[in-house]
Structures are given as structure tokens and as C-alpha cells.
């Protein structure tokens, strides 16, 4: 029996579990808005920091904590997107969104702690495939936020307006503009099985150094974009044309004889991972139209390969 002089066990905060349960939603939102899991994690951390900086009375005065957290996270992302152009101008070479592995491919074991599985936090759908994320990069910050919040997460334009500082009508126009960009960039629909088969054929042709087979799998106007971030060797400008790409692939195979190529899921779609001595050094995503590869994105920046390399032996 607890007396007045003896403090009883601390009562759990009934709102705490509800606040923490918003984390997955916030990670999903921030990753789609920023194209970077690392940045998304930082945004969510800052969002929670702002929540816990308030007094209990201030927290209890907020009618919908989930809506508050979303609004704050969205605003932080909007501000980050606004400054991203200056950051990208300093970036060495091309910038590609950070690729995410399938749940089964996520490697746990960060030194001194554990790494959460991003598949438990980021829901894989068409809004996270690499081609979609790349189109999002072409949008203005306001277009991207309006489109993602309204079309992907189903927030009203009134709610979007609070984040981007525009009227609901203006947000509606922003989302329409974003949809036009998406439609203009969309490739004809290819089933996952077709996509996987073409990627597998590309892998086999690459391993066999079969230049004619590679050219046959590539659209004549295909493009390769590589992202090394200035930290590792990578082509600084896109490579265009099926023959040039095929010769580039063969050159890589010749220069790295101990390279192992594995079929892996990249942002929910069939892709490839290149390893050297058991360590992932490149993650490759593909855009396929019909029976040809139209775009290839090769992420080599080690900072963007954290989910693929944590715990691997170097």
C-alpha cells in the first residue's frame, strides 16, 4: 500500500505509445519527400525533439498529436528541400536517391547497437521505386510536398496548405503539376516477372561479357547514371546509348575481375548488387519499358549504402 510520503510507480503516459507509433508513418513520409533514409531519420528525430521540448500542458492542448507530428515533419522536409538545390550544386557528380533493400536483405549489426529494419518502417510500393523517386527530384519543393501528402498519403489540400504556406487552391494546382510530371516520365507498365527476367538476362550477359547480348537488352536511347558522391570512382555525367553503355559495363567487368553480381530487390523492384570481397560496393536499379532497359541507376556512394553494408567485413 502506497502512503502519501511514498511515491508510487510512475504512471505510464497514455499518449506515449500513440506518439511513438507515428514513427513508421513519419519515416515513410520523410523518405518519399527527401529520397534519403538517413535524412528521413534525422527529420523524424528532430520532429520528436520538438514534441518533447513542449510541456505536458502544451502537448495535452494539441487535439491530434499525429497530425501535429506530420505537420512538423512535413515542414522540416519542405525547408530541407528548399535548401537542397544549393547542396546538390556542391555534390560531386550525379545525385541519386538512397536505395533501400528488401526486408530479407537488410543487414543488421551496427557496431555498438542494433539497426532497425527499414522494411519495418518504409512501406514498399510504386511511390518508392527508383524511377518514381527520380521524377520527384525534378519537382519544386512545393510540388513534391503537395503531391506526396495529397496523392500518396491522402491528406486534404487544407492540411497541405498549412505545411507549404499556400492556399488550398494553390496546393491543388501544385499537385496537378506534379501529376503531369509523373505521367510524362512514366514508362509502359512492365510486370515484376518481366522486369526480373530482363534484369537477370542483363546480369548473365554482363558476367559473360557478351556485348551483343547487352546491346540487345538496352533501349537504343538508354541512359546510365552513376552516383559516387566524390567518395569513390564513378562517371560524373550520364552515359547514353546502348552500345556505349554495353562497352562501359564490359570495361567494369574487365577492371574488377573479382566482382560478384547478385540479384536483389532495390526499392521494391528487381535490381542488382555488385560486391567485392563480400562487401557491397554498388546497388543498381533499372527502369524497363517493354522488353528493353531504358534507364540504369548505379549508386556507389558508400554513405548511401549503409543499409546494404552494415556489419559486412571490410
pLDDT digits (tens, 9 = 90+) for 273-307: 999 988 999 999 999 998 999 999 999 999 999 88
Average pLDDT over residues 77-96: 88
Task: Give CA angle at 298 (139, 243), nearest 5°.
Answer: 105
14 pLDDT higher than 80: no
Average pLDDT over residues 126-137: 94
| Alpha helices, H only, the chain | 16-20, 23-34, 37-52, 56-60, 65-90, 130-137, 141-147, 157-164, 168-185, 192-208, 211-217, 242-255, 306-309
29 pLDDT higher than 60: yes
Q: Are the C-beta atoms of residues 77 and 42 closer than 8 Å to each other? A: no
Average pLDDT over residues 97-118: 59
Q: Which of 94, 87, 133, 89 is nearest to 234 (CA)?
A: 94
Q: Are the C-beta atoms of residues 134 and 96 closer than 8 Å to each other? A: yes
Mean pLDDT over the full length of the chain: 88
pLDDT for residue 112: 36
End-to-end Cα, the chain, rounded Å:
58
The percentage of the chain sitting over the pLDDT mark of 70, rounded to a whole number, equals 88
| Alpha helices, H only, 91-140 | 130-137
Weakest-pLDDT range from 72-86, 116-130, 248-262: 116-130
Q: Are the C-beta atoms of residues 195 and 270 closer than 8 Å to each other? A: yes
Amino acid at each position: 500500500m502506497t502512503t502519501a510520503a511514498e511515491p508510487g510507480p510512475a504512471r505510464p503516459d497514455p499518449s506515449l505509445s500513440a506518439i511513438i507509433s507515428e514513427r513508421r508513418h513519419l519515416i515513410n513520409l520523410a523518405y518519399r519527400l527527401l529520397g534519403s533514409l538517413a535524412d528521413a531519420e534525422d527529420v523524424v528525430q528532430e520532429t520528436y525533439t520538438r514534441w518533447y521540448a513542449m510541456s505536458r500542458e502544451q502537448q495535452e492542448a494539441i487535439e491530434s498529436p499525429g497530425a501535429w507530428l506530420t505537420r512538423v515533419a512535413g515542414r522540416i522536409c519542405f525547408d530541407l528541400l528548399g535548401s537542397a538545390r544549393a547542396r546538390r550544386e556542391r555534390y560531386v557528380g550525379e545525385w541519386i536517391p538512397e536505395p533501400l533493400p528488401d526486408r530479407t536483405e537488410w543487414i543488421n549489426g551496427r557496431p555498438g547497437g542494433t539497426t532497425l529494419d527499414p522494411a519495418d518502417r518504409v512501406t514498399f510500393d510504386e511511390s518508392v521505386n527508383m524511377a518514381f523517386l527520380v521524377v520527384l527530384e525534378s519537382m519544386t519543393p512545393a510540388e513534391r510536398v503537395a503531391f506526396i501528402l495529397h496523392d500518396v498519403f491522402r491528406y486534404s489540400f487544407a492540411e497541405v496548405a498549412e505545411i507549404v504556406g499556400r492556399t488550398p487552391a494553390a496546393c491543388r494546382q501544385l499537385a496537378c503539376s506534379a501529376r503531369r510530371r509523373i505521367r510524362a516520365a512514366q514508362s509502359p507498365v512492365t510486370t515484376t516477372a518481366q522486369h526480373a527476367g530482363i534484369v537477370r538476362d542483363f546480369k548473365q550477359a554482363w558476367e559473360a561479357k557478351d556485348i551483343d547480348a547487352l546491346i540487345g537488352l538496352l533501349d537504343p536511347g538508354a541512359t546510365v547514371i552513376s552516383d559516387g558522391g566524390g567518395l569513390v570512382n564513378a562517371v560524373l555525367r550520364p552515359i547514353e546509348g546502348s552500345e556505349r553503355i554495353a562497352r562501359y559495363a564490359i570495361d567494369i567487368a574487365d577492371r574488377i575481375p573479382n566482382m560478384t553480381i547478385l540479384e536483389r530487390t532495390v526499392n521494391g523492384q528487381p535490381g542488382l548488387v555488385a560486391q567485392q570481397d563480400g562487401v557491397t560496393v554498388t546497388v543498381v536499379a533499372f527502369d524497363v519499358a517493354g522488353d528493353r532497359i531504358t534507364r540504369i541507376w548505379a549508386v556507389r556512394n558508400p554513405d548511401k549504402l549503409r543499409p546494404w553494408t552494415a556489419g559486412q567485413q571490410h
